[in-house]
């Protein structure tokens, strides 16, 4: 049973609903300071994964070329336009800040390397520890994001659950084909993306983490070539 997948998606869903409920009741200073703190937590989690890499060259090339592909395809722009349309339907009063948070939340909740590998790992061995740790962080993040971006954040829990359950089911088929070095490099690339997302959350830089997502696929190829 995918305990980690369920807990992670329910954490986002419940956190989003709670954030909508609390809304302006969350003090302004907390809404502005905690995202930065959570951003630094994400950066720390990313660094921990990065330093375990087996091939820094494969990780570096994956992130570099993956970002170039993502920029060329304008992946962030695609998600951003969809975020604006979603907000107009779900909560029309939210503005650019809400759309920005929705894109950040989508990457953090649904497309992080930690979440993807956590679902694969649970599908293979039944170990849900990665996703359970992520669920706690996502729950708090969802509360804060939903207090600004509204109920659209809660809907990401459903999207996350759908993505992770597919990966969970695929885990038994894919994971046995991956070498330990490839798994380590994949986690490192996921760590880079997590750290980038943390920088964006903490407003350290205006980097667009969504444009780096092709790196998660490239690392499987480059880990065999370099």
CB 147 within 8 A of CB 22: yes
pTM over 0.85: no
Q: Give the model confidence (pLDDT) of 32-86 as tens digits.
A: 777 788 788 888 878 888 888 889 999 999 999 999 999 999 888 887 777 667 6
Q: Quickly tell me which residue has 């330093």 as its tokens.
A: 51
Q: Give the model confidence (pLDDT) of 81-95 as tens digits.
A: 776 676 666 655 555
Q: Quickly tell me which residue has 């990665």 as its tokens.
A: 130
Q: Give the model confidence (pLDDT) of 5-40 as tens digits.
A: 999 999 999 999 998 888 777 777 776 777 788 788
Q: How far is 188 from 22, CA to CA, in rounded Å? A: 36
Q: Quickly tell me which residue has 């962080």 as its tokens.
A: 137
Q: How far is 138 from 160, CA to CA, in rounded Å? A: 11
Q: Give the model confidence (pLDDT) of 116-133 as tens digits.
A: 878 877 887 788 888 998
Q: How far is 48 from 104, CA to CA, in rounded Å? A: 21
C-alpha torsion sign, points 168, 78, 193, 217: positive
């Amino acid at each position: 049973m995918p305990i980690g997948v369920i807990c992670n998606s329910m954490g986002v869903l419940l956190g989003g609903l709670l954030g909508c409920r609390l809304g302006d009741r969350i003090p302004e200073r907390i809404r502005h300071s905690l995202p930065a703190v959570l951003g630094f937590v994400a950066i720390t989690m990313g660094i921990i994964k990065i330093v375990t890499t087996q091939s820094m060259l494969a990780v570096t090339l994956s992130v570099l070329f993956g970002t170039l592909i993502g920029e060329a395809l304008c992946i962030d722009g695609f998600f951003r336009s969809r975020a604006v349309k979603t907000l107009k339907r779900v909560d029309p009063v939210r503005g650019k800040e809400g759309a920005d948070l929705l894109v950040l939340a989508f990457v953090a909740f649904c497309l992080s390397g930690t979440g993807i590998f956590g679902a694969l790992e649970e599908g293979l061995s039944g170990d849900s520890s990665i996703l359970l740790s992520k669920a706690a962080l996502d729950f708090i993040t969802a509360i804060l994001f939903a207090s600004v971006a509204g109920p659209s954040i809660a809907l990401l829990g459903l999207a996350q659950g759908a993505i992770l359950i597919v990966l969970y089911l695929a885990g038994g088929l894919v994971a046995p084909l991956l070498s330990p070095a490839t798994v380590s490099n994949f986690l490192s690339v996921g760590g880079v993306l997590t750290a980038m997302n943390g920088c964006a959350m903490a407003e350290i830089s205006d980097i667009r983490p969504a444009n780096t997502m092709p790196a998660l696929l490239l690392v499987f190829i480059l880990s065999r070539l370099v």
